[in-house]
Amino acid sequence: MMLDRLQRLGRAGIGFFERLGRAHMFLLSTLAGVPGVLLRPSLVIKQLYMVGVLTLLIILVSGFFVGMVLGLQGYNTLSDFGAEDSLGVMVALSLVRELGPVVTALLFAGRAGSALTAEIGLMKATEQLSGMEMMAVDPMKRVIAPRFLAGFISMPMLAAIFSLVGVYGGYFVGVGLLGVDDGAFWSQMQDRVDLHDDILNGVIKSFVFGFVAVWIAVFEGYDSVPTSEGVSRATTRTVVHTSLVVLGLDFILTALMFGD
């Protein structure tokens, strides 16, 4: 009885590490396929459209609304201390350091990551991937690597657009509706937001999140059980795992970057 439970725990543990190992081997062969893809940019451009351009709308709308909420909430809190002139700093720092990369990564997992997983999973289920192998076309190079590269490129762009639109959302609410001084909003922001410490670290974060999000998405698709149930499970796992990993990594990166 006791031993049975122990065995089940052991099996789960071994399964976990097996999967982790497969994910890393998969990552290695994906990265090995990336240089070959650069010679055929048309594959990447098509994926950039699917992964990046089609995600743009949700990023623009959410960015604007997140910025507006920050402006509204920040104003309510800051005006208690007579510090509403610092609204620009608050909005910009929250967006550039945290919300930009994190919320973009979460939206990216929901909009683009799930689509990637489902597409690759269905390719596997309908044996298109094995078909390619039969024709001596390496699916890692033809299918996986372009999607990986497109996701990796898109994420930082989307995060930057999110942050910028968010700052203007905060500006719209703070300056346009609530009457914060226009000059103070921008000048305090420019005074306190540092190019290296804040913006660059935010961009590094978005690169890391993009890498992890797209890695999970393509791996879950490639590793899915080739049935309709398996694909649906893989798609769910993509969104759940990406969200957890991104939030966890965000804490670690924040502690490393802004800790002192």
Partner 1 sequence: MRNTRFIEIAVGLFIAAGMAALFLLAMQVSNLSRAGSGESYTITATFENIGGLKVRSPVTVSGVRVGRVDAIDYDNEAFEAVVTLRIDKAYSSFPEDTSASIYTSGLLGEQYIGLEPGGSEANLVEGDRIQMTQSALVMEQVVGQFLYNAAGKSDE
Residue 72 as a binder of partner 1 (CB under 8 A): the answer is no
State the angle between helix axes of 145-171 and 2-38 in degrees (0 to 180), rounded to the nearest 10: 90
Of 7-15, 21-29, 154-162, 242-250, which segment contacts partner 1 by CB under 8 A? 154-162
Among 33, 52, 71, 74, indicate the residue that binds partner 1 (CB under 8 A): 52
Matching residue, tokens 């997140």: 66
Residue 220 as a binder of partner 1 (CB under 8 A): the answer is no
Residue 117 as a binder of partner 1 (CB under 8 A): the answer is no
Reading the block at residue 219, the tokens are 């791996």
Please, which residue, 193 or 208, has the CB nearer to partner 1? 193
Residue 194 as a binder of partner 1 (CB under 8 A): the answer is yes
Residue 199 as a binder of partner 1 (CB under 8 A): the answer is yes
Matching residue, tokens 């609410």: 173
How near is the Cβ of 56 to partner 1 at its closest, in Å?
A: 6
Helical residues (DSSP H) of 49-200, grouped into ranges:
54-80, 87-93, 100-108, 114-125, 128-134, 139, 145-171, 182-192
Cα gap 239→115, rounded to integer Å: 10
Of 12-20, 68-76, 133-141, 161-169, which segment contacts partner 1 by CB under 8 A? 161-169
Residue 46 as a binder of partner 1 (CB under 8 A): the answer is yes
Residue 160 as a binder of partner 1 (CB under 8 A): the answer is yes
C-alpha radius of gyration, the chain, whole number: 22
Other CB atoms within 10 A of residue 78 CB: 18
Residue 204 as a binder of partner 1 (CB under 8 A): the answer is no
Among 102, 123, 149, 198, indicate the residue that binds partner 1 (CB under 8 A): 198
Among 16, 49, 65, 258, indicate the residue that binds partner 1 (CB under 8 A): 49
Residue 92 as a binder of partner 1 (CB under 8 A): the answer is yes
Reading the block at residue 200, the tokens are 């660059």
Residue 245 as a binder of partner 1 (CB under 8 A): the answer is no
Within positions 162 to 191, which residues make up the interface with partner 1, using CB under 8 A? 163-165, 167, 186, 189-191
Our measurement of the distance from residue 177's CA atom to the centroid of its chain's CA atoms, rounded to an integer in Å, reads 32
Matching residue, tokens 């031993």: 3
Residue 81 as a binder of partner 1 (CB under 8 A): the answer is yes
Taking alpha carbons only, the member of 199, 103, 197, 219 closest to residue 158 is 103
Please, which residue, 161 or 225, has the CB nearer to partner 1? 161
> Phi and psi dihedrals of 227, rounded to 5?
-130, 170
How near is the Cβ of 161 to partner 1 at its closest, in Å?
A: 4
What contacts 248, CB < 8 A, 6 or more positions away?
A: none
Half-sphere exposure of 18 (CA within 13 A, CB side): 7
Binding site for partner 1 (CB under 8 A): 42, 45-46, 48-49, 52-53, 56, 81-83, 92, 96, 153-154, 156-158, 160-161, 163-165, 167, 186, 189-195, 198-199, 203
